[in-house]
């Protein structure tokens, strides 16, 4: 079925003896805006890496766009946690974004068409003017946007983002969600967030991961106190399965 | 004037011209591959490869002297040993569950041990051991120079043709893998290029000081460059200046070339570090 973008069926995964995911099932449909939440060590990033085919499930089956994960990779734009990257690395903003065109080049220089695509992606995230700057000289929020631009340069149908809002102040977080919401018109968006209780109002589906997986509806925040504290763009998640500790 | 002495000597002595040529050839490869080594943080691997080279050189010399295999040139032995060491270290770091630094340390020492054993059994080993360890510019003969030219062409071509791929693999290998790059192959290729570069550099400064020449020019260039290719260009130019300067200085004052070159490189690095710190504080 083409409308099922992500299909995770009864997937378990273990690092050696320790079980990280147990019989997880997730279904994400086309043009969904899904947020994967859960406590640290609960298996969020593992679930993302399984979807990318960077890890193989110990048990169960994953299909992306109806295909095995590795074959679907060229339709996925992936944004890793930027803290993983070496910030001393001498690389310009445009160079980073051009890496998204790697699947479309052979050897030697990237060529004019690929450069145009990379600039376009930078334009989309609003950083066109910074393209010659060293990646290391940018602020955290700008770096996240560059990495999103790199994912967009892949011309994806599915955008997977690992903690795109970590270490951002609330203003930048809201800007980022606005950007993702715009992108969501053209592609399916799935992001991992460390925040267990609140997600952006743009999020349509919440996937709750803590060894097992539950999918939750999203509800408006009622109290003025909470909305002042987290901003009016946030929504609270109704945890229907309260017996699942921590999530 | 000491410098003019050196340039006069260049026109007179072919061994000095060979030494200078090998230094310049090595510098080009050093800038390109050294930049990858430093940014990917595999200096320790380069050190391991360099020391394994002694095993290959010792074995080649032994077979040449004792069995009369004239084709077994030490530089070819060095090449074979460097490539084997690079592939072993690469496969271990990609596949095995062994601790990587332990394996590198073990290979480092085993390679040297094999080299010393072979050299011990070779008549007249003593002077050769010192030359291999600490460099000896009298060692560079025309045959070595031809090998060095070929190595240089291979290293520089590969380093430049696959620039985008190496950049992506060094910066974020996970993303590169998702873009369909055979990341492990590129990693092994990078180690292979490192091995070739190490062989190039050994003729200039000797085994023990290879890592310094591979990293110091790049480290200095890192303070002035924003992109990888700027770093490569600047590191190559710096390396040429440092090796030429080291050769001239050591020739004029009758000092060992390798040690003089590395001391010079270290001095420039410290001055740059100090200068940067000084300049950064000044505006306040």
CB contact at 8 A, A130 and A182? no
pLDDT of B2 > 60? The answer is: no
Q: What is the DSSP string of A167-228?
A: T--HHHHHHHHHHHHHHHTTSEEEEEES-SSEEETT--EEEEEESEEEEE-EEE---HHHHH
| Of B35, B4, B25, the residue nearest B214 (C-alpha) | B35
Whether residues B171 and A105 touch (CB distance < 8 A) is answered with: no
Whether residues A90 and B227 touch (CB distance < 8 A) is answered with: yes
Tokens for A33? 């805006």
Whether residues B168 and A76 touch (CB distance < 8 A) is answered with: no
pLDDT band of residue A236 (cuts 50, 70, 90) is: low
**In the predicted model, what is the mean pLDDT of residues B124-131?**
73
Interface test with B, best of A73, A76, A99 (most B CBs within 10 A): A99
Question: How close, in Å, is residue A227 to chain B by CA atoms?
Answer: 37
pLDDT of A226 > 50? The answer is: no
Interface test with A, best of B179, B224, B235 (most A CBs within 10 A): B179
Question: How close, in Å, is residue A91 to chain B by CA atoms?
Answer: 5
Distance CA B50, CA B284 (A): 45
The pLDDT score that the predictor gives to residue B130 is 81
Whether residues B180 and A105 touch (CB distance < 8 A) is answered with: no
The pLDDT score that the predictor gives to residue B71 is 84
**In the predicted model, what is the mean pLDDT of residues B27-46?**
92
- Among B73-77, B97-101, B175-179, the range scoring the smallest mean pLDDT is B97-101
Whether residues B161 and A107 touch (CB distance < 8 A) is answered with: yes
pLDDT of B80 > 90? The answer is: yes
The pLDDT score that the predictor gives to residue B96 is 74
Whether residues A80 and B174 touch (CB distance < 8 A) is answered with: yes
How many Å is the Cα radius of gyration of chain A? 18
Which of B41, B170, B178 minimises the CB distance to A73?
A: B178
What ipTM is given for this predicted complex? 0.84
pLDDT band of residue B245 (cuts 50, 70, 90) is: very high
Question: How close, in Å, is residue B191 to chain A by CA atoms?
Answer: 19
Selection from A134-143, A201-210, B11-20, B262-271 with the highest mean pLDDT: B262-271
The string of pLDDT tens digits covering residues B81-97 is 999 999 999 998 888 77
The pLDDT score that the predictor gives to residue A245 is 41
- Given CA atoms B264, B268, B273, B278 in this order, what sign does their dihedral have? positive
The pLDDT score that the predictor gives to residue B6 is 77
Selection from A182-191, B3-12, B133-142 with the highest mean pLDDT: A182-191
The pLDDT score that the predictor gives to residue B258 is 87
Chain B residues within an 8 Å CB radius of A16: none
Interface test with A, best of B169, B175, B225, B233 (most A CBs within 10 A): B175
What range defines the domain where residue B23 resides?
4-281
**In the predicted model, what is the mean pLDDT of residues B134-147?**
81
Contact residues for B249 (Cβ-Cβ < 8 A; gap 6+): B2, B255, B260, B264
Mean residue pLDDT of chain A comes to 82
The pLDDT score that the predictor gives to residue B209 is 87
Angle ∠(A157,A158,A159) on CA atoms, nearest 5: 125
Q: What is the CATH number of the domain that holds B246?
A: 1.10.3470.10
Whether residues A102 and B231 touch (CB distance < 8 A) is answered with: no
Interface test with B, best of A102, A103, A132 (most B CBs within 10 A): A102
Tokens for A239? 């945890």
Question: How close, in Å, is residue A47 to chain B by CA atoms?
Answer: 16
The pLDDT score that the predictor gives to residue A38 is 80
Distance CA A137, CA A153 (A): 21
**In the predicted model, what is the mean pLDDT of residues B11-39?**
89
Closest chain A residue by Cα to residue B182: A103
The pLDDT score that the predictor gives to residue B237 is 96
The string of pLDDT tens digits covering residues A57-100 is 998 999 999 999 888 988 999 999 877 788 888 999 999 999 99
The pLDDT score that the predictor gives to residue A220 is 47
Tokens for B110? 């085993």
Whether residues A95 and B167 touch (CB distance < 8 A) is answered with: yes
**In the predicted model, what is the mean pLDDT of residues B129-139?**
79
The string of pLDDT tens digits covering residues A13-70 is 988 888 888 888 888 989 899 988 887 778 888 899 999 999 999 989 999 999 998 8
CB contact at 8 A, A146 and A52? no
The string of pLDDT tens digits covering residues A205-224 is 888 887 777 776 565 444 44
CB contact at 8 A, B221 and B234? yes
pLDDT band of residue A176 (cuts 50, 70, 90) is: confident
Whether residues B172 and A78 touch (CB distance < 8 A) is answered with: no
The string of pLDDT tens digits covering residues A126-158 is 898 998 999 988 888 889 899 999 999 999 999
pLDDT band of residue A237 (cuts 50, 70, 90) is: low
Whether residues B172 and A91 touch (CB distance < 8 A) is answered with: no
Q: Count how many residues are written for chain B.
A: 284
Percent of chain B beyond pLDDT 70? Answer: 96
Whether residues A74 and B180 touch (CB distance < 8 A) is answered with: yes
- Among A190-204, B5-19, B257-271, the range scoring the smallest mean pLDDT is A190-204
Q: A146 vs A26, A139, B121, B179, CA distance in Å? A: 29, 11, 60, 17
pLDDT band of residue B281 (cuts 50, 70, 90) is: low
pLDDT band of residue A229 (cuts 50, 70, 90) is: very low
Count of domains for chain B: 1
Which of B41, B161, B164 minimises the CB distance to A110?
A: B164
Question: How close, in Å, is residue A76 to chain B by CA atoms?
Answer: 9
Own/partner long-range contacts of A215-222 (Cβ < 8 Å, ≥24 apart): A215/A26, A215/A27, A216/A240
């Amino acid at each position: 079925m083409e409308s099922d973008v992500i299909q995770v069926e009864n997937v378990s995964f273990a690092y050696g003896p320790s079980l990280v995911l147990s019989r997880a099932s997730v279904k994400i449909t086309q043009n969904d805006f899904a947020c994967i939440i859960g406590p640290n060590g609960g298996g969020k990033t593992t679930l993302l890496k399984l979807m990318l085919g960077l890890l193989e499930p110990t048990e169960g089956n994953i299909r992306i766009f109806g295909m095995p994960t590795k074959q679907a990779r060229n339709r996925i734009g992936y944004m890793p946690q930027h803290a993983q990257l070496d910030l001393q690395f001498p690389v310009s903003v445009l160079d980073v974004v051009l890496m998204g065109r790697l699947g479309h080049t052979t050897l030697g220089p990237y060529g004019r068409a690929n450069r145009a695509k990379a600039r376009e992606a930078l334009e989309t995230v609003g950083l066109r003017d910074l393209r010659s700057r060293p990646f290391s000289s940018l602020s955290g929020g700008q770096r996240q946007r560059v990495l999103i631009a790199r994912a967009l340069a892949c011309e994806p149908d599915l955008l997977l983002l690992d903690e795109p809002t970590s270490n951002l102040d609330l203003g930048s977080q809201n800007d980022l969600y606005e950007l993702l919401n715009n992108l969501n018109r053209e592609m399916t968006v799935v992001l991992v967030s460390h925040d267990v209780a609140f997600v952006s109002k743009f999020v349509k589906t919440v996937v709750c991961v803590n060894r097992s997986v539950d999918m939750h509806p999203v509800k408006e925040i009622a109290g003025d106190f909470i909305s002042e504290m987290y901003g009016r763009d946030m929504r609270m998640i109704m945890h229907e399965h309260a017996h699942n500790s921590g999530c | 004037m000491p410098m003019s002495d050196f340039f006069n000597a260049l026109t007179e002595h072919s061994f000095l011209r060979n030494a200078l040529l090998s230094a310049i050839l090595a510098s080009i490869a050093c800038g390109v591959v050294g930049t990858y080594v430093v940014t990917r943080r595999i200096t320790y691997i380069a050190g391991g490869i360099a020391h394994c080279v002694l095993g290959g050189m010792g074995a080649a010399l032994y077979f040449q002297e004792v069995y009369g295999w004239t084709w077994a040139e030490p530089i070819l032995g060095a090449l074979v040993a460097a490539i084997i060491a690079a592939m072993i270290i690469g496969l271990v770091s990609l596949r095995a569950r062994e601790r990587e630094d332990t394996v590198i340390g073990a290979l480092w020492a085993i390679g040297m041990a094999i080299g010393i054993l072979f050299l011990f059994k070779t008549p007249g080993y003593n002077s050769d051991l010192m030359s291999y360890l600490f460099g000896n510019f009298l060692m560079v003969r025309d045959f070595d120079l031809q090998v060095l030219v070929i190595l240089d062409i291979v290293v520089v071509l590969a380093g430049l043709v696959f620039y985008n791929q190496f950049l992506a693999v060094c910066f974020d290998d996970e993303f590169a893998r998702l873009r369909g790059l055979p990341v492990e192959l590129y990693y092994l290729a990078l180690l292979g290029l490192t091995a070739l570069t190490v062989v190039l550099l050994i003729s200039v400064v000797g085994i023990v000081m290879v890592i310094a020449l591979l990293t110091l020019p790049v480290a200095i260039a890192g303070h002035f460059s924003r992109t990888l290719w700027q770093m490569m260009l600047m590191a190559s130019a710096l390396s040429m200046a440092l090796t030429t300067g080291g050769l001239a200085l050591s020739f004029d004052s009758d000092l060992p070339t390798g040690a003089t070159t590395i001391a010079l490189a270290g001095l420039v690095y410290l001055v740059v570090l100090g200068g940067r710190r000084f300049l950064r504080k000044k505006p306040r």
